[in-house]
Amino acid sequence: MPKTIDIPVPDLAGRRALVTGASDGIGTHIAARLARAGAEVVMPVRDPAKGRAAAERVRERVPHARLDVRTLDLSSLASVAELADDLRREGRPLHVLVNNAGVMTPPTRRVGADGWELQLATNHLGHFALTVRLLPLLRAGRAHVTSQVSVAANRGAVRWDDIGWEHGYHPMKAYGSSKVALGLFAMELHRRSVREGWGVRSNLAHPGVSPTNLLSAQPLLGRPRDTTEVRLIRAYSRRGILVGTPETAALPAVHAATSPDAQGGRLYGPRGLGHLGGAPAEQALYARLRSAEDGRRVWELSERLAGVTVAA
């Protein structure tokens, strides 16, 4: 049986958090743990019915949970702008932002609403645009921003000359490219916050490996059945061998976003063998995410692609 793990989380009463991808898997567990600590959790989801069902699952575990299900398609910059505009009109500070949602390895190249490759659009560009548009609320809340990367960011690279993978699409390389871009952005966000005095702490988390729908069969993404690898991950997770569960995989992001010991500009992930499972701990920042020049480059490129800049 997998080992149950929990971590201390500060009292978040009176705090407002936003978790992308909270309708499923790790995201639902992140939302539940923040809600259990007292935070009001905004759950922006692509499918409202699925979001409401996820909120009910959270309330079954956390009866006092304060949840706010909103609509968001991260692959659509118009949808990102609509949500951010609504939240900014409401004017309530955000204290925690977890950029968690993701798409992983469609076997053939797919595009989002704006024509960008789907993994780039969802994993990076949508999160970039959302974070920048929400910056006034994040600054007002002196927010902790945690962006969810992947072990793929330790071996991937941004394809600068064809970031949308219009030529020679490779599912895993495109996924790694999107996660490296997100990681570089998160590190650059922290550098700019320190330099400009924004008061926003930005860091990274990765969940290790666990059996979630990110890896599962998804016919709409062209994966009609589970791979042998996914079936093995499920079996190992059930037996508590090497990899984590969706519950334990949520904890690095929770720790990174809430712990007073978690710092900006750092990476947090599972401490177990190969960093595949276990309790969260700080880890060495992946080499591909350390370059300040690459961080500046990905920020400026993302501004052009998303049409979003920091207001003066």
| Polymer length of the chain | 312
Burial class (CB in 10 A: 0-12, 13-18, 19+), 312: exposed
Respond yes or no: is residue 175 known to be catalytic: yes
**Cβ atoms of 43 and 67 closer than 8 Å:** yes
Give me the long-range contacts of 105-110 (CB less than 8 A, separation at least 24): 105/171, 105/172, 105/174, 105/175, 105/223, 106/171, 106/221, 106/222, 106/223, 107/171, 107/221, 107/222, 107/223, 108/169, 108/222, 109/165, 109/166, 109/169, 109/174, 110/221, 110/222
Which two structure tokens, joined as six digits, stand for 254? 């929770």
Report the C-alpha gap between 145 and 178 in whole angstroms.
Answer: 18
Catalytic residue among 175, 236, 268, 286: 175
Report the C-alpha gap between 211 and 145 in whole angstroms.
Answer: 25
Report the C-alpha gap between 233 and 13 in whole angstroms.
Answer: 36
> So which residues are the catalytic ones?
175
